[in-house]
Structures are given as structure tokens and as C-alpha cells.
Structure 1
Amino acid sequence: MKAPKLVGPAAKADTTYEVGYAKPPTETRFKPGRSGNLKGRPRGAKNKRPALNEERLKDIVLEEAYRNITVRDGDRNVSIPMAQAVVRSMAVNAAKGQHRAQRLFAEMLSSTERQNKQLADDWLNTAMEYKVEWERELHRREMLGITNLPSPLPHPDQVKIDMNTGLVHIEGPATKEQLAQVELWRGRQQVFKEELCEVEEMLKQERKPARVAQLQEEKLQVETVLEIIGQLLGKIDWNGQGGT
């Protein structure tokens, strides 16, 4: 006759165990000595090489370059990006007469100015080509009586080119989104103008001092809002065809 095996308390059926929050069913609970993650972390996962489309080192460099650090500026401490601190240190050493710092700073400055000049030239050429081509197209439409096509954004009249300086700027909305914003603020401006007229009309008819004071305060508030909207819109006179 075999002796009965000793069964620990955890192995016995627990007829009083209630399933609920933080109490999963017995058959799904973790077993003692057995990991919940059977496969575990793959070997070498921590040091796995980045995929071809990842640029992990570039991200690290950029993160460090633009991380703010505290430096001494005269008699006070200032917080500036690491890249700015490096350039500032190089410029200070160049000013002190260090030849290597002078050469590096001059090369960096020359390269930066050359790149900025190239960008400005490209922008000028692009603006001139855009303006000329669209003026030709709009003239063609006018000659053929074509009126059902939308105007370009930006309109060539909005593209302002200063031939003396080579600078280009665009007056008025240059995209559909900007146009929508202008139209939105134009609509709000009209609403407040109508409200201002109503307040001024009520002021003409009101005789009670308290009510007059209240209406004058409302008028001042509406005029302030209109001034703010006017500043946002600037001097743009957008009518769907171009700015002035």
C-alpha cells in the first residue's frame, strides 16, 4: 500500500476562492517558479542595430546640440543651446587671437553666408518665374474670355520683388488656409462693425446717464476689438484677386 502524497495548500482545490478584481481564475494564475514571459527579451535586443530607415546617431547629435545649458554671460547666467555655446566659445577664442579658432570661425561664417545667399537667389528666381508665368496665363484667360477658373494663390500681383535688393515678399494670403483665415477675420470684422453701429444708434436715443455710461463702455470694447482685428489683417485689401 502506497503512502499518500503530501499536497501543499496551494495545490488543493480552494472552494472558497472568489474570482474578481486582482483575483484571476486559478487555472490562469502564474505558476510558482515559472516566468510570465516565456520567450523573454530576445538575445541582443538592447544592442540591436537600427533599421536602415533609422538615424539614431543623428537624433542623438541633434538632441545634444539643442539641449540648453547654463553659461556665464558677463555678470549673469543665461540658458542657451549647446550649439550656440560652442559657437560663442569659438568666436570668443577667435577674438582673443587663437589662429585655429579664427580659421574655423571664418570658414563656418563663410559657409553659412554662402548657403544663405544661395537660398535667397533660388527664392528670387522662383518668385520671378512664378510671377511671369502666371501673368502670361492670366493674360491668356483674359484674351479668351475664360472666367470660370480660380485665381492662383498667391496672385502674381501679391508677389513683390525689389530688384535693387533682390528681396521678395508676398502680400496677402498665399495659400487656401491663409485665405480662409483672412475671410474668417473679415467676417468677424463686419459683425463687430454692425454691432458698433447698433451701439452708436442706441447712444443717440438713450437719455439715462447710467445706461449711457454702459453703452459708452460697450462702444469702447467693440472699438478695441476692431482695432485688434485691423492689426491682424494689416493693410491687406483682399478681394480674391490680389493685395495692394
Structure 2
Amino acid sequence: MSGRDKDDRQRSATGDDGSLPSLRGAKLTRPTAYEVGYGKPPGAHRFQKGRSGNPKGPGPKGAKNKSKMPALHEERLQQIVLEEAYRTITVRDGERAVTVPMAQAIIRSMAVNAAKGQHRAQRLFAELLVGTETANRRRHDEFLNAAMQYKVEWERELWRRERLGITDLPPPLPHPDHVVIDIRAGTARITGPATPEEKALYDQVARDKAELERNMARLRRQLKRETDPEEQEDIERHLRIGEEALHRMKQALGE
């Protein structure tokens, strides 16, 4: 290429005076294709100019953490104390970690400190132990006295009904025969149903028990007559199953 041709090409790119072409007054056009990717959402989902991205505005300060005032009949502090007392925490028990309620962890710590010779812990633990045993004894005595009074009064009432021939009144629940008092041990226990629902279940178990006993008696008679060893083994197997079921029924009936 000659030197003249080279100069002509350079002037066509820069202008006649050798300066770079100016963009002033030129109309710029937006590219027709919009690349969508990270930091470049689709056009329909981009923020509009002059419009907030959160038109509802921020919520009130502290709205999520504001606690509701308790009603007049509520005792919120007691509820909080109970929730904290029975909230489970993890403590060390020797070489292992165990999960126990907060109250148990506190009592355990107090007992350990008392065993180590801390006088204040010893006094507090002794007072707590005496108070607990006293409350348990009081509840036991109240239950025993109530059970004895219940048994005596209903036995007297049932005797009155029998003497007068009254048969249209329902029996009491629990029945006084099912209230077992052990005077020597100082205990009272209920061996029968105490509610109508329990009574219905109790009666059903009693009927099933009677039916099972009849079937087992029939199997024992059949076993005495049977001479086939395989049949004898099968009958004995059914008798063992029946004995286990009968034992569970007697336990349910308090026998």
C-alpha cells in the first residue's frame, strides 16, 4: 500500500483535520436484546422508576416482640414459672450428658451441694424434703379417710335398699366391694370401675372371662378323651394361650 492511500484511509476514519469523530448530537439506540441473568431480572419484574419496591412500607417497630397484656383472670407469672420449671435442659451426670427438667436440675444441684457439706444447701434440702413428705402424708391420710367413709356409707345404703326391696336404683361407682381398705398397711385401693365408661368395659371383660373359662373347661374335657398326640399338643397350646389371656383379664378385674 502506498503512503498516499494510507493517509486517505486514516483521514476517512478520523476526519479531514485528523481528529476523532464526535458523538455529540448522535442518537443512541437501546439494544434490542436484553440479557437475563444474575443481577439482570426480566424486564417485567424490574423495579419501575419512581416506584418503591415495598409499597406497604415497613411494619411498626417492635410489633413482633410486643407481648400481650394478660387478662384480669389470668396469672401469667405462675404460667411462666411453671414453664421454666419444667423446661428441659442438658446437664452433666458424671461422664455423660442427660436431659432433665429445670426443677430437677436445681434440686439435684442442691442435693449435691448438701452432700458436699454446704450448710445452707443442707438446710434448704432438709426443709424441702420434710415439706414434701408432710404434703404426701397429708394427701395419703385424706384419701384413706375418704375411702373408708365412702365404703361405710355406701354399704349402709346398699343394705337399706336390700332391706326395703329397692332394685330400681343404679349401684354406686365405685362399688363399695371394690374399695379395699388395708388397716394394717394404712392403704386404700380401688379394684373396680369408677366411671360409667369403666363400668361398661369392666362388664365386658367379666363376660369375656366367663366365656373363656367355659371354653377352657371344654378343652380340658376334650384333652382327657383325646388319644392323638398331635391333637393333644394342639389342645395344650390353646390352653396355654387361654391361661395367659385369663391371667390378664383377672388383673383387669382386680382379682
Question: TM-score, normalization: structure 2?
Answer: 0.63
Between 1 and 2, higher relative CO (CA 8 Å, sep ≥ 6) is seen in: 1
User: Could you tell me how far apart the structure 1 residues matched to 2:208 and 2:129 are?
Assistant: 47
User: Could you tell me how far apart the structure 2 residues matched to 1:33 and 1:75 are?
Assistant: 54
User: Could you tell me how far apart the structure 1 residues matched to 2:215 and 2:161 are?
Assistant: 41
| Deviation string, structure 1 residues 146-200 (Cα, Å, up to 9, x no partner) | 1222221112222222222321112222222222222233344456567765899
Q: What SS does the aligned partner of 1:97 have?
A: coil
Which residue is 1:115 aligned to? 135
Q: Closer, same or farther in 2 for the Cα pair 1:126/1:207, shift >3 Å? A: closer
Which residue is 1:95 aligned to? 115
Q: Does 1:149 align with 2:169?
A: yes
> Aligned pair count?
202
Q: Closer, same or farther in 2 for the Cα pair 1:169/1:87, shift >3 Å? A: same
Q: Is 1:161–1:168's contact at 8 Å kept on the other side of the alignment? A: yes
User: Could you tell me how far apart the structure 2 residues matched to 1:126 and 1:193 are?
Assistant: 36
Which residue is 1:227 aligned to? 244
Q: Is 2:202–2:253's contact at 8 Å kept on the other side of the alignment? A: no
Which residue is 1:186 aligned to? 206
RMSD, matched Cα? 3.8
User: Could you tell me how far apart the structure 1 residues matched to 2:63 and 2:118 are?
Assistant: 47
User: Could you tell me how far apart the structure 2 residues matched to 1:111 and 1:57 are?
Assistant: 23
Query: What are the equivalent positions in structure 2 for 1:9-48 lying under 5 Å apart?
Result: 35=56, 46-48=66-68
Q: CA deviation at 1:56?
A: 3.0
Q: What SS does the aligned partner of 1:80 have?
A: strand
User: Could you tell me how far apart the structure 1 residues matched to 2:80 and 2:239 are?
Assistant: 51
Q: Closer, same or farther in 2 for the Cα pair 1:67/1:233, shift >3 Å? A: farther
Letter in 1 for 2:176: P
% identity of equivalent residues: 49
Gaps of 5+ in 1: 1-31, 238-243
User: Could you tell me how far apart the structure 2 residues matched to 1:87 and 1:62 are?
Assistant: 15
Query: What are the equivalent positions in structure 2 for 1:57-68 lying under 5 Å apart?
Result: 57-68=77-88
Q: Is 1:153–1:175's contact at 8 Å kept on the other side of the alignment? A: yes
**Is the radius of gyration larger for structure 1 or structure 2?**
2
Which residue is 2:153 aligned to? 133
Gaps of 5+ in 2: 1-52
Letter in 2 for 1:97: G
Match of 2:89 among 57, 66, 69: 69
User: Could you tell me how far apart the structure 1 residues matched to 2:236 and 2:55 are?
Assistant: 77
| Deviation string, structure 1 residues 65-114 (Cα, Å, up to 9, x no partner) | 22222222233332222211110110111111111111111111111111
Letter in 2 for 1:134: W
User: Could you tell me how far apart the structure 2 residues matched to 1:223 and 1:75 are?
Assistant: 47
Q: Closer, same or farther in 2 for the Cα pair 1:95/1:34, shift >3 Å? A: same
Q: Is 1:193–1:226's contact at 8 Å kept on the other side of the alignment? A: no
| Deviation string, structure 1 residues 96-138 (Cα, Å, up to 9, x no partner) | 1111111111111111111111111111221121112112211
Q: Closer, same or farther in 2 for the Cα pair 1:139/1:103, shift >3 Å? A: same
Q: What SS does the aligned partner of 1:86 have?
A: helix
Letter in 1 for 2:142: D
User: Could you tell me how far apart the structure 2 residues matched to 1:58 and 1:225 are?
Assistant: 52
Q: Closer, same or farther in 2 for the Cα pair 1:84/1:225, shift >3 Å? A: farther
Question: TM-score, normalization: structure 1?
Answer: 0.65
